[in-house]
Every structure is written in structure tokens, then in C-alpha cells.
């Protein structure tokens, strides 16, 4: 029996323009997107993953856009509610969290391994990065893995999508060695419109018509054979909808009761990505001398110091969503995205170092015909030089203070004195770029 259909059930957390909050199903989120200010969740990973999921739905429901002209018509006319509703009804059976044949984003044929005649189900924190002690135990997180108890299915749905989007590779599983999600380790960029309707359309980058035909999201694909998953399977990315709904992990929710809660699940490796030179529309890129073109990750410093990487220029290394948003609003300045959100996580191999969400004001000059990336880079370089001078001055002060004229202090003591002052984060340019 099918339970908890994501089309109808309330599970997507939203904030309306009037400040009130609620949770909606897929259909109502789409149809009421002009009333919604933003998707909001305590987890940046959930927020990013939900946007990518909704964009995948739109690519398939709208069968486009396939070029900028089609995108502009759509931006002017708005999301076609009837077309979206018809698409969701066509695939209704694939959006049930619990289903006898096609549970959403899961591998139904998967049963966990047995130990002494008992199946070894894992508790739900296995899919929740912020609560998973195996790779990201958090201070003040009081969830005990062994006795985590149940969570509402609406939360399980959010974590399921986030896990498939951000899972890190490393370690054996019931099947094969686990691999990272194609999108797991870079900073994701999302231009923000005046409401969710515009936010989604600003990131709906046109896709080639022929590519679009074979660009199937997870719910339109036939299940991957269990034998292939156990052996270890890899394939290339077929398009944006495919990329945004990649089966990184083989997961199966254990139905207990009426499907309103989840306690246990099966969890193993999924499909590895063999596309080395794929371009993710939400990623900014940089040229590495050794590795060539690579997505920009979160570093051990504020993202504002790499802000120029978000801005378009003739190199076309900026996120495609930013280039698309500026092209879409060039003749409609009132709908130009005033800010951009950067979300994701930083990792050390299979360990999550931190997850982050930052928000910046987007220069309105982008809506014109000129590039400003070089100018921003010059400002950032000046800020770097200022920071370096301040750092050296503080180190000199610390050395003199700690030596008391009698000894040469060790470098560790000097760094310990200077680093807590967080000199770089107080630079005025940071405040100029940041928003919220």
C-alpha cells in the first residue's frame, strides 16, 4: 500500500511573503510559489537539495526551457499550473515515500544484511548529515544513533533528498565502496528572486533540446537492478534533471505502522558518477594549474573573499545560474535578483568539516551590458593586501608583547594570540558584500 505521497503531503518548509510559515506538498509549492518568499530549513544542505529537486520537476513538467527566448517567455508568463499538475498526476505513483514497487528515491528490492538471523536496519541519522556521528558529530547534538527513535516522514523526505545530493564517499557498505555525490563538495549558488516563483525560474537554465529528451530524473527511471548495485555501477550524467536527482545511495525506508514516521532504513552504495567534465549550473569554476577546470569549494575562509568567482565575464567560469539570471532580467530590472545564496559543505575525505549558508548582495551593475568581475577582483585584492598588513602588524605586536624583551616567543604562541582576533572577517568590504 502506498503511503505519504510527496505531491499532496506537507513536507517542504516555506516562509510566505507575509512572514508566516508552513509546510507544503510539491503541487502547492509550485502553484503558490508567488506567495512564498523562500524555502527555509535549519539545514543549508536541505535548502539546497530541495531547490534542485523542484528544478528537476520543472525541467520535466515544462519540457524546457531549451533556449533563452523560451526562458524569457516563461519568465514573463509565469509557471503554467495546469501543465505542472498534469505532469505530477502522470507520475503520482512514483512520489510515494512508502510504496510496494516504486518508493520515492529508494531501492525497493534492497533488504539489509542479516546478523544472527536478524536484519541490520540502520537508524534514520544515517541520512542526516547534521546528526550522523559517523562522519559529522556536532557539539550540542543530543541524538543518540542507537536510540534515535522515530522522526516524522516529512523530515525523512527532506533528509532523503539532502543525503542523495550531499553524501560523501569513503568506506564499504552492504554493496560496494561508497562514492561521493556528483554535487557533494562544491559551493552551490542560488540567485534569489522576490519570491520562490522567480527564484526557481532564475535558476532554470536552458538545456539543449536533444539532451532534454534523455534527461530523466530518478522517478522516471526504471529501478537499477540490485545485482548491478551490489557489483558496483557507474554511469555518466545525462542532463540537469538527472544530475539534480542522482541515486548516490541505495536506501530503503523500513515501513512500521501507518507511514507517518520513520525509525529505520537500509543504507548502501548507489550509482557512481563517471562524468569527469560535467558542468553543474549552480557551481562556479576556477582553473587549476594541475587539474584544469574545477568547481570552487568552500574554503577555510569566508566565501566573500572569492565573491568575484560568482560574477560572469568572458571566461564563463561563473555559475550558469548567475549568467542566466542576469540575461533573463536585463530588460526587467524590477525582477533582478538582489541577492545570491551560497550553500554547501566542506569535507576532509569522508568527514564533514562544516556546512554553511552565506548570502550576498548581487551588484545591480550585472543587469547592464558590462562585466564587473575584474573590478570586484581588484577590490578583493586590495582587501587581501590590507588584511596581510594588519596580520603582520598584529604578529609583530604579539611577538613584542609576549617576549617582554627577554625571550623569542614560539610561533605557536604568537599565532594563538593573533588568530582569535579574526582580523580578516572585520574588513568593511565583507559587510558591503554580505546581505542578511
DSSP string, 204-250: -----HHHHHT---GGGSPPPPHHHHHH-EEE---SHHHHHT---EE
245 shares its domain with 388:
no
Residue 92, pLDDT above cutoff 70:
yes
Residue 140, pLDDT above cutoff 50:
no
> Which one has a higher pLDDT value, 408 or 226?
226
> Which one has a higher pLDDT value, 145 or 187?
187
State how far the Cα of 420 lies from the Cα of 301, in Å rounded to an integer: 14
| DSSP bridge partners of 122 | 265
Cell output for 193: 528572486
Residue 86, pLDDT above cutoff 60:
yes
Residue 29, pLDDT above cutoff 80:
yes
| DSSP bridge partners of 352 | 347
The SS3 call for residue 183 is coil
Domain ranges, residue 408:
378-433
Instruction: Examine the fold and report which residue of 273, 299, 316 is the final residue of a domain before the chain moves on.
Output: 273
Taking phi first (over 0 means left), then psi (-120 to 50 degrees means alpha), and beta for anything else, what does residue 316 get?
left
| Confidence band for 138, pLDDT divided at 50, 70 and 90 | low
Instruction: Examine the fold and report which residue of 246, 273, 300 is the final residue of a domain before the chain moves on.
Output: 273
Q: Considering the domain boundaries, does residue 238 fall inside one?
A: yes
Residue 434, pLDDT above cutoff 70:
no
pLDDT at 206: 98
Residue 148, pLDDT above cutoff 80:
no
State how far the Cα of 64 lies from the Cα of 56, in Å rounded to an integer: 10
Number of domains in the chain: 2
Q: Considering the domain boundaries, does residue 38 fall inside one?
A: yes
Residue 383, pLDDT above cutoff 70:
no
Cell output for 110: 534492497
Q: Considering the domain boundaries, does residue 86 fall inside one?
A: yes
State how far the Cα of 291 lies from the Cα of 190, in Å rounded to an integer: 26
> Which one has a higher pLDDT value, 284 or 309?
284
pLDDT at 64: 93
268 shares its domain with 388:
no
State how far the Cα of 74 lies from the Cα of 83, in Å rounded to an integer: 12
Radius of gyration (C-alpha) of the chain in whole angstroms: 23
Residue 435, pLDDT above cutoff 60:
no
Q: Considering the domain boundaries, does residue 259 fall inside one?
A: yes
Residue 436, pLDDT above cutoff 50:
no
> Which one has a higher pLDDT value, 220 or 427?
220
Q: Considering the domain boundaries, does residue 366 fall inside one?
A: no
263 shares its domain with 394:
no
Q: Considering the domain boundaries, does residue 35 fall inside one?
A: yes
pLDDT at 378: 63
For residue range 102-125, list pLDDT tens digits in order.
999 999 999 888 776 677 899 999
For residue range 352-369, list pLDDT tens digits in order.
888 889 998 887 766 555
State how far the Cα of 361 lies from the Cα of 115, in Å rounded to an integer: 54
Residue 308, pLDDT above cutoff 70:
yes
Residue 411, pLDDT above cutoff 90:
no
Residue 141, pLDDT above cutoff 60:
no
DSSP letter, residue 131:
G
State how far the Cα of 159 lies from the Cα of 49, in Å rounded to an integer: 9
362-387 mean pLDDT: 63
pLDDT at 139: 46
pLDDT at 309: 75
State how far the Cα of 297 lies from the Cα of 288, in Å rounded to an integer: 13
324-339 mean pLDDT: 90
Which of 152-156, 261-265, 306-310, 350-354 is predicted least confidently? 306-310
Q: Considering the domain boundaries, does residue 64 fall inside one?
A: yes
Average pLDDT, the chain: 86
pLDDT at 371: 62
pLDDT at 306: 74
Instruction: Examine the fold and report which residue of 273, 295, 323 is the final residue of a domain before the chain moves on.
Output: 273
Cell output for 37: 518568499
The SS3 call for residue 44 is helix
27 shares its domain with 146:
yes
Q: Considering the domain boundaries, does residue 337 fall inside one?
A: no
Residue 388 CB coordination number (10 Å):
12
How many residues are present in the chain? 436
For residue range 47-84, list pLDDT tens digits in order.
999 999 999 999 999 999 999 999 999 999 999 999 99
Cell output for 106: 529508494
Residue 204, pLDDT above cutoff 90:
yes
Residues 151/184, Cβ–Cβ less than 8 Å: no
259 shares its domain with 392:
no
State how far the Cα of 135 lies from the Cα of 128, in Å rounded to an integer: 10
Residue percentage of the chain with pLDDT more than 70: 83
Cell output for 195: 519570491
The segment with the largest mean pLDDT, out of 20-24, 109-113, 142-146, 408-412, is 20-24
114 shares its domain with 257:
yes
Amino acid at each position: 500500500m502506498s503511503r505519504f505521497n510527496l505531491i499532496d503531503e506537507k513536507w517542504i518548509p516555506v516562509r510566505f511573503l507575509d512572514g508566516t510559515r508552513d509546510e507544503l506538498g510539491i503541487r502547492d509549492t509550485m502553484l503558490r510559489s508567488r506567495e512564498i518568499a523562500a524555502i527555509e530549513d535549519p539545514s543549508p544542505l536541505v535548502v539546497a537539495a530541495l531547490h534542485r529537486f523542484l528544478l528537476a520537476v520543472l525541467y520535466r513538467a515544462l519540457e524546457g526551457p531549451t533556449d533563452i527566448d523560451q526562458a524569457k517567455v516563461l519568465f514573463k508568463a509565469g509557471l503554467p499550473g495546469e501543465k505542472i499538475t498534469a505532469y505530477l498526476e502522470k507520475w503520482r505513483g512514483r512520489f510515494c515515500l512508502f510504496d510496494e514497487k516504486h518508493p520515492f528515491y529508494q531501492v525497493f528490492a534492497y533488504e539489509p544484511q542479516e546478523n544472527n538471523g536478524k536484519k541490520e536496519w540502520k537508524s534514520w541519522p544515517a541520512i542526516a548529515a547534521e546528526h550522523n556521528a559517523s562522519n559529522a558529530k556536532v557539539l550540542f547534538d543530543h541524538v543518540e544513533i542507537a536510540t534515535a527513535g522515530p522522526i516524522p516522514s516529512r523530515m525523512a523526505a527532506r533528509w532523503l533528498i539532502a543525503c542523495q545530493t550531499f553524501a560523501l564517499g569513503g568506506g564499504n557498505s552492504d554493496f560496494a565502496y561508497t562514492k561521493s555525490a556528483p554535487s557533494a563538495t562544491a559551493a552551490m549558488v542560488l540567485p534569489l528572486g522576490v519570491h520562490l516563483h522567480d527564484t526557481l525560474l532564475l535558476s532554470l537554465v536552458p538545456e539543449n533540446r536533444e539532451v532534454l529528451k534523455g534527461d530523466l530524473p530518478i522517478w522516471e527511471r526504471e529501478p537499477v537492478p540490485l545485482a548491478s548495485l551490489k557489483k558496483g555501477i557507474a554511469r555518466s550524467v545525462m542532463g540537469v534533471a538527472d544530475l539534480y536527482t542522482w541515486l548516490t545511495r541505495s536506501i530503503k525506508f523500513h515501513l512500521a505502522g501507518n507511514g507517518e514516521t520513520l525509525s529505520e532504513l537500509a543504507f548502501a552504495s548507489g550509482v557512481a558518477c563517471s562524468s569527469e567534465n560535467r558542468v553543474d549550473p549552480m557551481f562556479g569554476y576556477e582553473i587549476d594549474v594541475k587539474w584544469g577546470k574545477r568547481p570552487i569549494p568552500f574554503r577555510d575562509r569566508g566565501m566573500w573573499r572569492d565573491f568575484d568567482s560568482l560574477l560572469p565575464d568572458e571566461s564563463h567560469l561563473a555559475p550558469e545560474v548567475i549568467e542566466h539570471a542576469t540575461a533573463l532580467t536585463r530588460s526587467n530590472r524590477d525582477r533582478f535578483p538582489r541577492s545570491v545564496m551560497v550553500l554547501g559543505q566542506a569535507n576532509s575525505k569522508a568527514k564533514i568539516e562544516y556546512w554553511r549558508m552565506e548570502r550576498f548582495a548581487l551588484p545591480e551593475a550585472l543587469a547592464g551590458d558590462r562585466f564587473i568581475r575584474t573590478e570586484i577582483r581588484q577590490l578583493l585584492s586590495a582587501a587581501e593586501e590590507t588584511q596581510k598588513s594588519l596580520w603582520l602588524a598584529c604578529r609583530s605586536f604579539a611577538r613584542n608583547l609576549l617576549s617582554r624583551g627577554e625571550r623569542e616567543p614560539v610561533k605557536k604562541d604568537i599565532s594563538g594570540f593573533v588568530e582569535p582576533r579574526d582580523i580578516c572577517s572585520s574588513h568593511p568590504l565583507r559587510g558591503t558584500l554580505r546581505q542578511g
